[in-house]
Structure 1
């Protein structure tokens, strides 16, 4: 594993135009992959880089609450799939008529199709009883672990690796299946692999489930009811 100096020979220099473009490309072209996985294995050096990227996420109080379960066991994955199927049946009951039929037509996991699964967990005891910065908001350990997930996802996109987050799972059953200690929470169950394509749009948008909200409708001023006071910023946001 290379150290930080290999990644950042001069931490004070600005990113080049090419580097900046690559960062924004990864952000805008990241997709939640479910249907496009290829069987090709992920090379160990690539997976190690992705895990290293996740491990370099920011965390409140530098608590680093994450652990990474690299799941290649078919029996474990089959057990997780069973949990998904049970929860997915319950979720379908939230919709009626055409919406129910549309929900049932969506592919919402690639647990067995992807060559490997990964569970990113949050150790809620890491750092001890008093973690700097966590006194008022105890959920900051969960928030920090989400940042590790995002780091992993963006790095994966840059490496041409698809990632799908399976959120339709009973967390208690998942924790039991993965034999997690009581204080460790299974925050993100991910399917990983090379893909046949990255879709131009998010799959739920492409299939008409939801569309991306306009950014201009979501940016506000100093308080909730205020508009932006900077016309140039508002104009740039509306252009985008």
Structure 2
């Protein structure tokens, strides 16, 4: 006879983690970095990659739509073509900055596509849960926001595994679509470069190199209603 599963049977312990486990979570959050040039060439084992993908797939999603998919790229030929797409867009981006920022921009390494042994392209399928999705009825971007949660899950799991991650966002969508055969209706959310690293910057690389500093959290907190940050 089939056993009825009640709500209580589906619940797990909601107590706080033990101190050491809690500290490990916060350590992953605060030491996570956007890696560009510290990748080692060693390939990532399949079981490790699977764990990272499972962490991504465990992300929260509005309406439990789970709109994400993952394309794994290891081919040097494909990575080189992606780097060429990045380089074209990067030259365009450089020209958008004022003269005083342009030299600093030029000195930054903004991708690790060729150096990292693995790239994972994270996409979003807006149709996966049907035309009407619980929680997306009044904000159609909730599918993309949910997909970004998957990116963050993967990134934090990678940090715990000693794997660096770099997010490449400087490219034209059409170039990547053509390279990877991604349909028009599918949104490209992230091109992630992954690989082992020996060391990481103590602070975000863009802060270390003087591009931008971390904002003061106290200046970003409002109570009860919005307050213009510039006038606080």
Common topology (TM > 0.5): yes
Q: In the aligned structure 2, how far is the partner of 1:226 from the partner of 1:19?
A: 37
* Structure 1 residues 1-240: aligned runs within 5 Å: 11-225=13-227
Q: Which whole-Å deviations, capped at 9, do the CAs of 1:50-93 have from their partners, x for residues lacking one?
A: 10000000001100000010101122111111110010000000
Q: In the aligned structure 1, how far is the partner of 2:162 from the partner of 2:117?
A: 14
Q: In the aligned structure 2, how far is the partner of 1:96 from the partner of 1:171?
A: 25
Q: Which whole-Å deviations, capped at 9, do the CAs of 1:174-205 have from their partners, x for residues lacking one?
A: 12211012221111000000012111010000
Tell me the C-alpha RMSD between the 2 structures. Answer: 1.5
Q: In the aligned structure 2, how far is the partner of 1:90 from the partner of 1:225?
A: 36
Q: In the aligned structure 2, how far is the partner of 1:105 from the partner of 1:14?
A: 44
Q: In the aligned structure 2, how far is the partner of 1:76 from the partner of 1:38?
A: 19
TM-score, normalization by structure 2:
0.91
Q: In the aligned structure 1, how far is the partner of 2:71 from the partner of 2:160?
A: 22
Task: Give 1:11 deviation, angstroms.
Answer: 3.2
Task: Give 1:226 deviation, angstroms.
Answer: 9.0
Structure 2 portions without partners, runs of 5+: 1-10
Q: Which whole-Å deviations, capped at 9, do the CAs of 1:17-42 have from their partners, x for residues lacking one?
A: 01100000000000000010000111
The 8 Å contact of residues 161 and 194 in structure 1, kept in 2 or not, is answered as yes
Q: In the aligned structure 2, how far is the partner of 1:182 from the partner of 1:11?
A: 43
The 8 Å contact of residues 161 and 195 in structure 1, kept in 2 or not, is answered as yes
Task: Give 1:169 deviation, angstroms.
Answer: 1.1
Q: In the aligned structure 1, how far is the partner of 2:227 from the partner of 2:72?
A: 46
Q: Which whole-Å deviations, capped at 9, do the CAs of 1:87-145 have from their partners, x for residues lacking one?
A: 00000001233311110000000001001111010011111111111110000000000
